Amino acid sequence: MSELDTDIMYLKGVGPKRADLLKKELGVSTLGELIRLYPFRYMDRSSIQPIASVSQSLAYIQVLGKVVSRTLYGPSSSLLDTSGERIHWGAAKRLSVIVEDDSGRMEMVFFKAVKWNYERLVPGQSFIFFGKPSEFNGRWNIVHPEVDVPQEGSMAQGVLTGVYPSTEKLKNAGITGKVMCRLQSAALARCLPEISESLPDYVLGELGLCSLSYALKNIHFPADSYALEKATRRLKFEELFLLQLSLLKQKYIRSRADKGIAMPKVGPDFNACYNALPYRLTGAQQRVIKEIRADLMSGHQMNRLLQGDVGSGKTMVAVLSCLLAIGNGYQTCIMAPTEVLAQQHYSNIQKYLAPTGVKCALLTGSTGAKARREIFEGLAGGQIGLIVGTHALLEDKVIFKNLGLAVIDEQHRFGVDQRAKLWSKNTLPPHVLVMTATPIPRTLAMTVYGDLDVSVIDEMPPGRKPVRTTLHTPNRMPAVYKFMREEIAKGRQVFVVYPMIYENEKLDIQNLELGYDEIVKAFPFPPYKCAIVHGQQTSEVKNFNMEAFAAGRANILVSTTVIEVGVDVPNASVMVIMSAERFGLSQLHQLRGRVGRGAASSHCILIRDYKCSKEAIQRLELMCSTENGFEIAEEDMKMRGPGDLEGTQQSGLPISLNIASLAKDGQILSEARAYAQKVLDEDPTLDSPKNARLLHELRKEKYQIKDYSRIS
């Protein structure tokens, strides 16, 4: 067996119990996986600071001090008697060690491993202490410092020391940062001799990349900062390059292998709808329709992601795309994540289709038995040209005569397996148009949707007024209520949104209901009418309250983020978001998009808590300064990381990245994608002998990426 595949329990210092913990907490099972667990930051251990120079500004310090005294404390900080032959260790709760150098004294404090530290830290002996300084009762101390004997030297004590991911359970089991360094040192000693290069020699030469064994040694134990920089660049590039190579190769193979439905005609229905539009399409909408039309004519199956900010006109593009398919004799469907959104789409689409002869239907969980039967017959017989619906469209009973185009709105709300069911609805795979109003940063789109073609509507329709966004603290609520009354007096409506705070639905609903009670007190019936919507309500109650607001029967809708996607109320002019710092930027942008849909001036009022971090305030101020969803999404990813972005929680990244960051390594990602494209342009199937290493790497399980486009 290869050392890389050796179970981690057989590494010196691990054993069965620690191995089990490392598997559960860090997902590390083998020596190969351990050496691919990289430090997330580094501490400079090269300098010794005088105790007198310790200050709050230093994140970590390293001092060389002689032990002056050691004191044991029992319960309630009582002194423990150490004068006898036997010390009552069971009562020892804390160890205080005073150390000194030529410049002063400080305290080292231990709450764990008290007996062990007491016995080794003997007065008169000198040690190196490393840790985070803090001040207590006028004296500097370090709680649980790392302790070394000055003469000690090993691979794990370099100038730059790596800090590895950890958890409380690992620390409690004694797997400290120092222990992790020792384990990495032992694992590398065993694994480095059999590390084989993963990139071809020509790639290393052309790009000036260091070897894999050099990179692995120096990412864990850098010789110096230059060696660390070389190792980091090599490992990041390799990770992103192989990911992009896999995605682009998959796209290349599919573009040649996947026979799609050829749709050469435009048809009279498209022209009738287009010519009857009361406004001119934006240049961006026209460009996207041309891109979709080219895909439909190509004879290959379309897999296109359509990104567009809230209100940019994606639905109109979807309808015209459906009419192109219908003009070629095929049926189409538009799938939405909620009943409310499906009903809104259906209502708007019927207006668009009025000048055409296309029959449209709506299928949701609430559709009655008789209407269902009629819809099933109309789909099977081909009379229904366009059907709008929710997950109900995926039911086995839904059989199309000839489905040619499937449009999925807010696709991240659908599970991968659910979307896959669409593929069984036709002999040849239908064309797929995936739409999202959640702006996806370029680097994320390149990765999550790296094998899809991407269209962007980056232009808003004329006449859409900007939403004025302001930031306030709770003491401004009386003024906010006054403003809400003024807007309602003009015939406008108001959203009030509360966050999920407790990660506990019951507590969150209580929080929302308390807020609702406050709003009802401030806006009593009559003359005001308030509605409330949240996730624990039945679909019937939720839809009733949302429809009451949409129809203008309620002035204020108090809600959680269930209204984030798709509630279209042109009369709503004010969006109040409570505890705004608890939302991500992209989510705030989505919520803000619920207003500004009518002719009136609209406002988004962000209420932040008094206690708010500097970073949170910066995020909220960015919301006030721009309405550009893509700019906001880029910032959101930089601040929160790609995994938290709305739109990626369910689908996730195609592979887990060990060292590269989509938020920070956009430049390397762009270079890696361009280079991957260059390699595939010369050798699309990687059959050339010089690319044998690449083909070998892509056959590894990590790069057997599920074909996202085929299931969108």
CB 484 within 8 A of CB 336: no
The residue-averaged pLDDT of 94-110 equals: 93
- pLDDT of 503 over the 80 cut: no
Give ranges for CATH 2.40.50.140 in the chain: 47-152
Query: What residues pair up with 7 in beta bridges, in sequence order?
Result: 30
The residue-averaged pLDDT of 687-706 equals: 84
The reply to whether omega before 474 is within 30° of 0 (cis) is no
Q: Is 355 exposed, middle or buried (0-12, 13-18, 19+ CB in 10 A)?
A: middle
Smallest Cα–Cα separation from 170: which of 57, 17, 389? 17
How far CA 665 is from CA of 42, 490, 641, in Å, comes to: 18, 49, 12
- Close Cβ partners of 49 (under 8 Å, ≥ 6 residues apart): 58, 61, 62, 63
CB 686 within 8 A of CB 698: yes
Domain over 1-45+158-189 is classified CATH 1.10.150 = yes
The reply to whether omega before 268 is within 30° of 0 (cis) is no
* pLDDT for position 653: 55
| Structure-token pair, residue 557 | 């809708």
- Close Cβ partners of 151 (under 8 Å, ≥ 6 residues apart): none
Of residues 520 and 634, the one with the higher pLDDT is 520
Give the distance, in angstroms, between the CA of residue 574 and the centroid of all CA atoms in the same chain.
28
Task: Return phi, psi of residue 561, to 5°.
Answer: -75, 10
- pLDDT of 488 over the 90 cut: yes
* pLDDT for position 702: 74
* pLDDT for position 661: 78
Q: Give the model confidence (pLDDT) of 421-462 as tens digits.
A: 666 677 778 898 988 877 666 666 666 666 677 888 878 777
- pLDDT of 682 over the 90 cut: yes
Extended beta strands in 21-125, E state: 41-44, 61-73, 94-101, 104-110
- Close Cβ partners of 668 (under 8 Å, ≥ 6 residues apart): 233, 236, 237, 240, 660
What number does CATH give the domain 268-457? 3.40.50.300
The residue-averaged pLDDT of 578-589 equals: 86
CB 389 within 8 A of CB 333: yes
Cβ atoms within 10 Å of 180's Cβ, excluding its own:
23
Which alpha helices (DSSP H) does 552-644 contain, by range? 585-592, 614-625, 629-640
Q: What is the C-alpha to C-alpha distance for residues 308 and 678, in angstroms, rounded to an integer? A: 30
Query: What is the residue type of 24?
Result: K
Superfamily of domain 467-626, CATH level 4: P-loop containing nucleotide triphosphate hydrolases (3.40.50.300)
Q: What is the CA radius of gyration of the chain?
A: 31
Q: How confident is the model at residue 66 (pLDDT cuts 50, 70, 90)?
A: very high
Put the strands of the sheet holding 360-363 in their side by side order. Answer: 360-363, 386-389, 331-335, 403-409, 431-436, 303-308, 453-457
Q: Give the model confidence (pLDDT) of 196-217 as tens digits.
A: 999 999 999 999 999 999 999 9
Name the most confidently modeled range: 179-193, 397-411, 543-557.
179-193
| Structure-token pair, residue 348 | 């708007």
Q: What is the C-alpha to C-alpha distance for residues 566 and 562, in angstroms, rounded to an integer? A: 9
- pLDDT of 645 over the 50 cut: no
Query: What is the residue type of 288?
Result: V
Q: Give the model confidence (pLDDT) of 190-201 as tens digits.
A: 999 999 999 999
Q: Give the model confidence (pLDDT) of 248-263 as tens digits.
A: 887 777 666 667 889 9
The residue-averaged pLDDT of 43-69 equals: 84
CB 8 within 8 A of CB 31: yes
Q: Which helix (H) or strand (E) holds 540?
A: helix 539-550
Per cent of the chain over pLDDT 70 is 87
- pLDDT of 711 over the 50 cut: no
Task: Return phi, psi of residue 247, to 5°.
Answer: -65, -45
How far CA 27 is from CA of 12, 154, 217, in Å, comes to: 19, 27, 21
- Residue pointed to by tokens 């040192």: 185
Task: Return phi, psi of residue 579, to 5°.
Answer: 45, 50
Give ranges for CATH 3.40.50.300 in the chain: 268-457, 467-626
Extended beta strands in 473-601, E state: 493-497, 530-533, 556-559, 572-577
What number does CATH give the domain 47-152? 2.40.50.140
- pLDDT of 648 over the 90 cut: no
Q: What is the C-alpha to C-alpha distance for residues 29 and 22, in angstroms, rounded to an integer? A: 7
Per cent of the chain over pLDDT 90 is 45
| Structure-token pair, residue 445 | 């789109």
The pTM assigned to this predicted structure is 0.61
* pLDDT for position 379: 95
Q: Give the model confidence (pLDDT) of 19-53 as tens digits.
A: 999 999 999 999 999 999 999 888 776 678 899 98
- pLDDT of 157 over the 50 cut: no
Q: What is the C-alpha to C-alpha distance for residues 584 and 617, in angstroms, rounded to an integer? A: 12
Of residues 249 and 635, the one with the higher pLDDT is 249
CB 596 within 8 A of CB 442: no
Q: Give the model confidence (pLDDT) of 593-610 as tens digits.
A: 888 777 778 999 999 988
Q: What is the C-alpha to C-alpha distance for residues 200 and 693, in angstroms, rounded to an integer? A: 6
Query: What residues pair up with 161 in beta bridges, in sequence order?
Result: 43
* pLDDT for position 569: 83
- Residue pointed to by tokens 């980091």: 232
Q: What is the C-alpha to C-alpha distance for residues 56 and 547, in angstroms, rounded to an integer? A: 57
The residue-averaged pLDDT of 623-636 equals: 80
Q: What is the mean pLDDT of the chain?
A: 85
Put the strands of the sheet holding 139-143 in their side by side order. Answer: 133-136, 139-143, 104-110, 94-101, 61-73, 126-131, 146-148
* pLDDT for position 544: 87
